[in-house]
Structure 1
Amino acid sequence: MVAPRVSAKTKIFELEIVLVEVAPSVRRRVQVPGEIDLAVLHGVVQSVMGWTNSHLHEFEIAGRRYGIPDPDRPSQGVADETKAKLFRLVKAGDRFGYIYDFGDNWTHEIAVEAVETAEPGVRYPRCVAGQGACPPEDVGGIWGYEDFQAALADPAHPDHAERLEWAGGPFDPNRFDPDEADRALEWLAWRPLASTS
């Protein structure tokens, strides 16, 4: 499949993605072409946050839900995310929601910080900033994550060794590598706008 190309008309949406009610704070700032659909934005969120796309998800924008509709349950009222373009749904200053893993219920708030012109030679989508490590999958949501961190921080905690082994070794909730987060988006790359020089 040929990657889409950024054109002179492409608007770049700068989004701040914040994992709600998690401490320490987990946030990412990304720039994406406005023409992407919400299915691609789902891929962006998964990749840049550090999730593994192992669970269901859903967007909520202006009171409407978007995701993967269940053909056996059309009454659920979930619009098809593959048919919903970002630039048609939001503008600068808007905020919307994204939930990942309906069991752990990871709620993200996404803010449209700016809408700008594409820069020649720049790969989009890209991660331009961030903070904090993504919680491990299946840790038990916000409260499970708090318990997980408490167990790891205290070698005398009765669950310390078990949680350390489950995590595959030490876990730093403050860790964020901007280059790693940006590289995670390479699989979604659009062909850059050509330089005019």
Structure 2
Amino acid sequence: MPTRSGDVYQLKVTLSGSRPPIWRRLLVESGTTLQDLHRIIQVAMGWQAAHLHQFESSDGVFFGDPDEDPDGMMNYVDETSVPLEAVLQREKQTLRYEYDFGDGWEHFVVLEKILPGSGDTPLPSCIKAVRQCPPEDVGGLGGFYEFLDVMANPAHPEHDDAREWLGGVVFDPEFVDLEAINEGMAHRERLFDPVAAPLFDADEECEGLSFNQMEQLMTSPLHCPAVFDANLDSALIEPHLDSAPIMRILKALFQELDGKGVRLTPKGNLPRRVVTPLVEAGGDAALAEPYRDGFARIRSEEDVIHVHLARLLAEIAGFTRKQRGQLLLTQRVKDWIRKEQWLPIYQELLLTAMNRFNWSWLDRFDEFDEIQVVGPFALWLLAKYGDEWRPESFYIDAMLTAFPMLTEVVPPSPFYSPEKQIAHALSLQMFSLYSWLGLIECEDKNKGGRLASLGDRDIRRTRLFEGLFRASGA
């Protein structure tokens, strides 16, 4: 079937040699460049674009990114100038895509169908995804299958190390989040080329930060020496660690897990007898009541978002592990607890919350995922203005001034403006999280004596924040 301008290609991308097969079915425009196809495959498979790549056509021609071959040693055809329809022109034609020349991830790309373009489906689109791709740097297919064996056996001597290497999360080889894949495709330009779609203007300062400082803050908020002093004084931090509600909850959880651990419910949650002391440790009577009417209604950790969040962060950070229905402490955190080294525990918790935890879990609005990307800028705003009580709206307005594109990802609503929706998401996803981490304190404008409601509170930074985030050169 000959191609026409505006055709849609249905591609099947399979990780070569995977058993059972790991594959994706994609819809892309026939005029998609090979460079964009590289980005699409990265997002669809779940890779991180951390290594070199190349394409090879069925007639042995290699295509690649000139920036990855500055000396011309690979003799690539420039992938940025080659449309897919120039390489695949008939159904059943194939293309080879290789990623990470060390681990050698080869992908078999086949043109299954050539469809007429209709404009009904957003492109590119992943319409089917089967099995999760291997973690980066796992050592090729051989290393991947060894990794799966280790992860599936909690009694394996390398299980804890493998779990910690993965970041403490559970790896389910069968799970694929198709919605997240398509969301990533929609934002792939910014993911792979921030300069092409900048979050901020390179020619202007923003609240006193240069472009380079902003870039460092966005990419590494907990280690950005151009913005915050990297030399932490533990004497200024440790006395205030318990001001963080989640830290108090974690300490109570660690105490409950000491020894033989805790048997989880069939759903994998903490039982009520454990949840109650964790709620009490968190403090503030309202802690138990974001969505329930007091302690009597608590059935499990999911009834108390603060406790549920603390338990999830502990798992992602590698503080806990599950074994035969029991929740146990890992040896690393046991050593820290024994030595009363609470600062590294908090630092790991903060790193996990900023970089590994998905903020949209807090309100289930995945379309606002860019809030987490720009969230570190609020740390700078708090360092600059947070010494006194200010309305939460002050910071939200400053965020929207710095990043007006946030409103562009908001779905239309007949009831709320894009600015109102983003403000609510910033309040819940970012400022509530910062409050639970002990970085800010909130005060109800109405002096009602309860935890301030979203959007109706004043905030200021805490002593813990001041110990962690001091402007460089201050």
- What aligned pairs does 1:1-197 form with structure 2 within 5 A after superposition? 9-61=5-57, 62-69=59-66, 70-72=69-71, 74-91=72-89, 92-168=91-167, 169-188=169-188
SS of 1:47's equivalent in the other structure is helix
Contact 1:16 1:28 in 2 (8 A): yes
Q: Work out the CA distance in 2 between the residues paired with 1:181 and 1:164.
A: 24
Q: Deviations over 1:83-140 (max 9, x none)?
A: 1110111121101100000000001000000111112332100001110001100111
Q: Higher mean Cα deviation, 155-164 or 176-185?
A: 176-185
> How far off is 1:188 after superposition?
4.9
Q: Work out the CA distance in 2 between the residues paired with 1:177 and 1:22.
A: 19
**More helix, by proportion:** 2
Contact 2:16 2:107 in 1 (8 A): yes
Whichever residue aligns with residue 136 of structure 1, its letter is: P
**More strand, by proportion:** 1
Whichever residue aligns with residue 80 of structure 1, its letter is: D
Q: Work out the CA distance in 2 between the residues paired with 1:184 and 1:29.
A: 15
SS of 1:113's equivalent in the other structure is strand
Instruction: Flag the structure with larger Rg.
Output: 2
Q: Work out the CA distance in 1 between the residues paired with 2:187 and 2:150.
A: 35
Structure 1 gap ranges (5+): 1-7, 190-197
Q: 1:90 to 1:9 in 2, by over 3 A?
A: closer
Q: Work out the CA distance in 1 between the residues paired with 2:107 and 2:40.
A: 13
Q: Work out the CA distance in 2 between the residues paired with 1:156 and 1:67.
A: 44
Contact 2:5 2:30 in 1 (8 A): no
Contact 1:125 1:188 in 2 (8 A): no
SS of 2:114's equivalent in the other structure is strand
SS of 2:151's equivalent in the other structure is helix
TM-score normalised per structure 1: 0.87
SS of 1:76's equivalent in the other structure is coil
Q: 1:157 to 1:170 in 2, by over 3 A?
A: same
Q: Higher mean Cα deviation, 56-65 or 171-180?
A: 171-180
Identity of aligned residues (%): 34
SS of 1:185's equivalent in the other structure is helix
> How far off is 1:75 after superposition?
4.4
Q: 1:177 to 1:71 in 2, by over 3 A?
A: closer
Q: Higher mean Cα deviation, 104-113 or 20-29?
A: 20-29
Q: Higher mean Cα deviation, 127-136 or 177-186?
A: 177-186
Q: Work out the CA distance in 1 between the residues paired with 2:80 and 2:142.
A: 33
Alignment size in residue pairs: 181
Contact 1:37 1:81 in 2 (8 A): yes
Q: Work out the CA distance in 2 between the residues paired with 1:9 and 1:104.
A: 37
Q: 1:75 to 1:54 in 2, by over 3 A?
A: closer
Q: Higher mean Cα deviation, 16-25 or 130-139?
A: 16-25
Q: CA RMSD in A?
A: 1.6
Whichever residue aligns with residue 33 of structure 2, its letter is: D
Whichever residue aligns with residue 53 of structure 1, its letter is: A
Q: Work out the CA distance in 1 between the residues paired with 2:49 and 2:174.
A: 22
Q: Deviations over 1:127-177 (max 9, x none)?
A: 011100011001111111011101101111111000011112210111112
> How far off is 1:47 after superposition?
0.6
Contact 1:16 1:113 in 2 (8 A): yes
Structure having greater relative contact order (Cα 8 Å, sep ≥ 6): 1
SS of 1:180's equivalent in the other structure is helix
Q: Work out the CA distance in 2 between the residues paired with 1:9 and 1:55.
A: 33
Q: Higher mean Cα deviation, 13-22 or 172-181?
A: 172-181
Whichever residue aligns with residue 123 of structure 1, its letter is: P
Q: Work out the CA distance in 2 between the residues paired with 1:175 and 1:37.
A: 29
TM-score normalised per structure 2: 0.37
Q: 1:9 to 1:76 in 2, by over 3 A?
A: closer
Contact 2:88 2:111 in 1 (8 A): yes
